[in-house]
Structure 1
Amino acid sequence: MAVSAALGMSAAAMLPSVASAQDELLVEEVVVTGSRIQRANLVSASPVTQVDAEEIKFQGTTRVEDLMKNLPQVYSNQNSSSANGATGTATLNLRNLGDARTLVLVNGRRLPAGSPIAGGQGADINQIPAGLIERVEVLTGGASATYGSDAVAGVVNFMMKQDFEGVELDYQFSQYNHDNDNSRIQGIIKDSGFPYPDGSKTDGDIQNWSLIMGGNFDNGRGNVTAYAGYREIDPVTQAARDYSACALGVNIDSCGGSGTSAEGTFLTNPGVFYVDGNQFVPGNKVFNYGPLNHYQRPDERYTGGVFGRYQINEHVETYTELSFMDNQTNAQIAPSGAFGVAFNLNPNNPYLSSQQRNILFGNAADLNEDGTAPITLLRRNVEGGPRNQDIRHTTFRGVFGLRGDINDTWRYDVYGLYSEVSMENTYNNDFSNDKIKNALDAVEVIDPDTGESSIVCQSVIDGSDPNCLPWNVWQTGAVDQGSVDYMELPLYARGTTDQKVFSGYLAGSLGDYGIKMPTAESGVELVVGAEYRKESLNFNPDEGFRLGLGAGQGGATNPVNGSFDVQEFFTEMSIPLVEGAAMAEELTMDLGYRYSDYSTGVTTDTYGVRAGWAVNSDIKFRASYQRAVRAANIRELFLPQGFNLFDMTQDPCTTSPDGDAPTATPAQCQLSGLPADQYNNFVDSFAGQYNFLQGGNTALEPEESDTYSVGFVWSPADIADLSVSVDWYNIEIKQGIATPNPEFILDECLAGNAAQCAKVKRGPLGDLWLGSDVNTSGHVVALLDNLAREEVEGWDVVVDYAVQLGDMGTLSFNNTMSLVTKWDQQEFAGAPTVDCHGMWGSSCGYPTPDFRNNLRATWLTPWDVTASLMWRHIGGSDDMNGNVDIDSYDYLDISAIWNVMDNASVRLGFNNVLDKEPPIVGDGAGPSNNGNGNTFPGMYDALGRYMYIGATLTF
Structure 2
Amino acid sequence: MLKKLNLVTAGIQVALVAGAVSSSVAVANEQTEAKSVERIQVTGSRIKRVNLTSPTPVTVIGGVELENQGITNVNDLLAEMPQATVGLSPENTTNYIYASGLNTTDLRGLGSERTLVLVNGRRFVPGSVGDTAVDLNNIPTSIIERVEIATGGAAAVYGADAVAGVVNIITKKSFDGVEVDVSTVKPEQSGGEEYFFSITGGQELEKLSFITSLNYTKNESYAKLDRDFFKRGMRSISNPKNTSGSDGIPADIEFNHPTALGYYSERGDFFAWKGTKTREAFENNHFTFDEDGTMRPFDYGLGLIDDPNPAISKRAAGRYTYDEANPGDAIFRHGYKDYFRTPLERMIGTLYGTYELNDEHALTFDATYSKTEATTESSPAFFSHTIRRDSAFVNDAMGKVMDDAGLDSVTLYQANENLWGDRKYNQEREVFRSSIGAEGIINDDWSYSTYFQFGRIEQDTLWTGEVYKNNLAYAIDSVVDDNGQVVCATRDADGNVTGAREGCVPFNPMGATSATQEQLGYISTTATRFARHDQAVFGATVDGVLFELPAGYVSAAFTAEHRREVAKIRPSENMELGLIKGNSSLPMDGEIEVKELSAEISVPLLMDEFLATDLTFEGAYRYMDYSVTGGDDAWKLALNWGVTDELRVRLNRSKSVRAPNLGDLFTPNSKTYSSGRADICRADSIAELSDDYKYRNNIINNCQAAGLAAGWMPSDEWLSGGSLPGYIQGNTELKNEVSNDYTIGVIYTPEFVEGLDLTVDYWSFEIDGAIEYFGRDSIKLCYEASSLDNPFCGNFVRNKDTGEIENFYSRPINAAQITKKGMDFESAYKFDALNGEFALKLTATYLIEDNQNSTGRAEDFRNYMGETDDAPRWKGRFSALYTHDDSAYVVTVNYRHSTVEDNEWTPEDNNFNAVSSYTTVDFMYKTYLVEDLQLRVGINNVFDREPPRTPYTYDDGEFFDVKGRRLSLGMKYNF
The TM-score range, normalised by the shorter chain, is: 0.7 to 0.9
SS of the residue corresponding to residue 739 of structure 1 reads: strand
In the alignment, which residue of structure 1 is the partner of 2:395? Answer: 353
In the alignment, which residue of structure 2 is the partner of 1:890? Answer: 919
Q: Residues 827 and 12 of structure 1: is their aligned pair in 2 closer, same or farther, counting only changes over 3 Å?
A: farther
Please report how far the alpha carbon of residue 471 of structure 1 lies from its aligned counterpart in structure 2 after TM superposition: 3.3
In the alignment, which residue of structure 2 is the partner of 1:765? Answer: none
In the alignment, which residue of structure 2 is the partner of 1:457? Answer: 488
1:304 counterpart = 2:316: no
1:321 counterpart = 2:366: yes
8 Å CA contact retained: 1:270, 1:359 = no
> Using the alignment, how far apart are the partners of 2:661 and 2:16 within structure 1?
31
SS of the residue corresponding to residue 636 of structure 1 reads: helix
1:374-773 equivalences under 5 Å are 376-384=411-419, 387-444=423-480, 455-458=486-489, 464=501, 466=503, 468-475=504-511, 483=519, 486-511=522-547, 514=548, 516=549, 518=550, 520=551, 522-553=552-583, 556-642=584-670, 694-740=728-774
> Using the alignment, how far apart are the partners of 2:669 and 2:16 within structure 1?
44
> Using the alignment, how far apart are the partners of 1:267 and 1:728 within structure 2?
60
SS of the residue corresponding to residue 784 of structure 1 reads: strand
8 Å CA contact retained: 2:194, 2:217 = yes
8 Å CA contact retained: 1:6, 1:42 = no
8 Å CA contact retained: 2:21, 2:62 = no
SS of the residue corresponding to residue 185 of structure 2 reads: strand
1:215 counterpart = 2:215: no
Please report how far the alpha carbon of residue 355 of structure 1 lies from its aligned counterpart in structure 2 after TM superposition: 4.3
8 Å CA contact retained: 1:802, 1:811 = yes
Give the one of 144, 152, 159 matched to 2:155: 144
1:30 counterpart = 2:40: yes
Please report how far the alpha carbon of residue 63 of structure 1 lies from its aligned counterpart in structure 2 after TM superposition: 2.3
SS of the residue corresponding to residue 551 of structure 1 reads: coil
> Using the alignment, how far apart are the partners of 1:247 and 1:746 within structure 2?
39
Length-normalised TM-score, structure 2: 0.79
In structure 2, what residue type is equivalent to 1:848? Answer: A
Q: Residues 166 and 757 of structure 1: is their aligned pair in 2 closer, same or farther, counting only changes over 3 Å?
A: closer
1:528-579 deviation line (CA, Å, top 9, x unaligned):
12110011111111122223333233xx322221101011111000111111
Please report how far the alpha carbon of residue 493 of structure 1 lies from its aligned counterpart in structure 2 after TM superposition: 0.2
> Using the alignment, how far apart are the partners of 1:548 and 1:265 within structure 2?
27
Give the one of 911, 921, 930 matched to 2:940: 911
After the TM superposition, which of the residue ranges 376-385 and 425-434 deviates more from structure 2?
Answer: 376-385
8 Å CA contact retained: 1:739, 1:785 = yes
Please report how far the alpha carbon of residue 435 of structure 1 lies from its aligned counterpart in structure 2 after TM superposition: 1.9
In the alignment, which residue of structure 2 is the partner of 1:803? Answer: 831
> Using the alignment, how far apart are the partners of 2:845 and 2:17 within structure 1?
14
8 Å CA contact retained: 2:19, 2:68 = no
Q: Residues 12 and 62 of structure 1: is their aligned pair in 2 closer, same or farther, counting only changes over 3 Å?
A: same
Q: Residues 866 and 746 of structure 1: is their aligned pair in 2 closer, same or farther, counting only changes over 3 Å?
A: farther
In structure 1, what residue type is equivalent to 2:373? Answer: Q
Please report how far the alpha carbon of residue 642 of structure 1 lies from its aligned counterpart in structure 2 after TM superposition: 2.8
In the alignment, which residue of structure 2 is the partner of 1:158? Answer: 169
8 Å CA contact retained: 1:102, 1:150 = yes
> Using the alignment, how far apart are the partners of 1:249 and 1:533 within structure 2?
50
What is the aligned-residue RMSD (CA, Å)? 4.0
1:198-242 deviation line (CA, Å, top 9, x unaligned):
xxx232221111111111112xx3211111111122221222124
Give the one of 863, 868, 879 matched to 1:856: 879
> Using the alignment, how far apart are the partners of 1:355 and 1:231 within structure 2?
56
Please report how far the alpha carbon of residue 279 of structure 1 lies from its aligned counterpart in structure 2 after TM superposition: 4.1
Q: Residues 617 and 757 of structure 1: is their aligned pair in 2 closer, same or farther, counting only changes over 3 Å?
A: closer
8 Å CA contact retained: 1:6, 1:43 = no
8 Å CA contact retained: 2:646, 2:748 = yes
SS of the residue corresponding to residue 553 of structure 2 reads: coil
> Using the alignment, how far apart are the partners of 1:892 and 1:668 within structure 2?
56
> Using the alignment, how far apart are the partners of 1:547 and 1:35 within structure 2?
49
Q: Residues 25 and 319 of structure 1: is their aligned pair in 2 closer, same or farther, counting only changes over 3 Å?
A: farther
> Using the alignment, how far apart are the partners of 2:745 and 2:849 within structure 1?
18
Give the one of 900, 906, 913 matched to 2:929: 900
> Using the alignment, how far apart are the partners of 1:7 and 1:745 within structure 2?
55
> Using the alignment, how far apart are the partners of 2:814 and 2:397 within structure 1?
56
In the alignment, which residue of structure 2 is the partner of 1:169? Answer: 180
After the TM superposition, which of the residue ranges 573-582 and 276-285 deviates more from structure 2?
Answer: 276-285
In the alignment, which residue of structure 2 is the partner of 1:103? Answer: 116
Structure 1 unaligned spans of 5+ = 178-200, 368-372, 448-452, 654-665, 676-682, 685-689, 762-773, 841-845, 926-933
SS of the residue corresponding to residue 192 of structure 2 reads: strand
Q: Residues 465 and 223 of structure 1: is their aligned pair in 2 closer, same or farther, counting only changes over 3 Å?
A: farther
1:827 counterpart = 2:854: yes
In the alignment, which residue of structure 2 is the partner of 1:764? Answer: none
Please report how far the alpha carbon of residue 392 of structure 1 lies from its aligned counterpart in structure 2 after TM superposition: 0.6
After the TM superposition, which of the residue ranges 541-550 and 789-798 deviates more from structure 2?
Answer: 541-550
Q: Residues 638 and 465 of structure 1: is their aligned pair in 2 closer, same or farther, counting only changes over 3 Å?
A: farther
8 Å CA contact retained: 1:644, 1:692 = yes
In structure 1, what residue type is equivalent to 2:928? Answer: N
8 Å CA contact retained: 1:539, 1:559 = yes
8 Å CA contact retained: 1:614, 1:620 = yes
Please report how far the alpha carbon of residue 256 of structure 1 lies from its aligned counterpart in structure 2 after TM superposition: 5.5
8 Å CA contact retained: 1:8, 1:798 = no
SS of the residue corresponding to residue 510 of structure 1 reads: strand
Greater Rg by CA: 2
1:506-527 deviation line (CA, Å, top 9, x unaligned):
112113xx4x2x3x0x211011
8 Å CA contact retained: 1:301, 1:326 = yes
SS of the residue corresponding to residue 936 of structure 1 reads: coil
Length-normalised TM-score, structure 1: 0.80
8 Å CA contact retained: 2:593, 2:627 = yes
8 Å CA contact retained: 1:11, 1:49 = no
Q: Residues 42 and 216 of structure 1: is their aligned pair in 2 closer, same or farther, counting only changes over 3 Å?
A: closer
SS of the residue corresponding to residue 202 of structure 1 reads: coil
> Using the alignment, how far apart are the partners of 2:785 and 2:745 within structure 1?
45
1:55-74 equivalences under 5 Å are 55-74=65-84
In structure 2, what residue type is equivalent to 1:617? Answer: D
SS of the residue corresponding to residue 62 of structure 1 reads: coil
In structure 1, what residue type is equivalent to 2:571? Answer: P
8 Å CA contact retained: 2:392, 2:486 = yes
> Using the alignment, how far apart are the partners of 2:736 and 2:792 within structure 1?
27
Please report how far the alpha carbon of residue 172 of structure 1 lies from its aligned counterpart in structure 2 after TM superposition: 0.4
After the TM superposition, which of the residue ranges 589-598 and 243-252 deviates more from structure 2?
Answer: 243-252
Q: Residues 710 and 390 of structure 1: is their aligned pair in 2 closer, same or farther, counting only changes over 3 Å?
A: same
> Using the alignment, how far apart are the partners of 1:638 and 1:760 within structure 2?
15
Please report how far the alpha carbon of residue 802 of structure 1 lies from its aligned counterpart in structure 2 after TM superposition: 1.8
Q: Residues 747 and 873 of structure 1: is their aligned pair in 2 closer, same or farther, counting only changes over 3 Å?
A: farther
1:265-293 deviation line (CA, Å, top 9, x unaligned):
65787245653234486986752273312
Please report how far the alpha carbon of residue 483 of structure 1 lies from its aligned counterpart in structure 2 after TM superposition: 4.0
8 Å CA contact retained: 2:47, 2:544 = no
SS of the residue corresponding to residue 75 of structure 2 reads: helix
SS of the residue corresponding to residue 811 of structure 2 reads: coil
Give the one of 888, 892, 895 matched to 1:866: 888
> Using the alignment, how far apart are the partners of 1:151 and 1:868 within structure 2?
33
SS of the residue corresponding to residue 742 of structure 2 reads: strand
In structure 1, what residue type is equivalent to 2:88? Answer: Q
SS of the residue corresponding to residue 398 of structure 2 reads: helix
1:785 counterpart = 2:798: no
1:645-675 deviation line (CA, Å, top 9, x unaligned):
99xxx99x9xxxxxxxxxxxx9899x99x99
Count the aligned residue pairs: 839
> Using the alignment, how far apart are the partners of 2:389 and 2:226 within structure 1?
45
8 Å CA contact retained: 1:896, 1:909 = yes
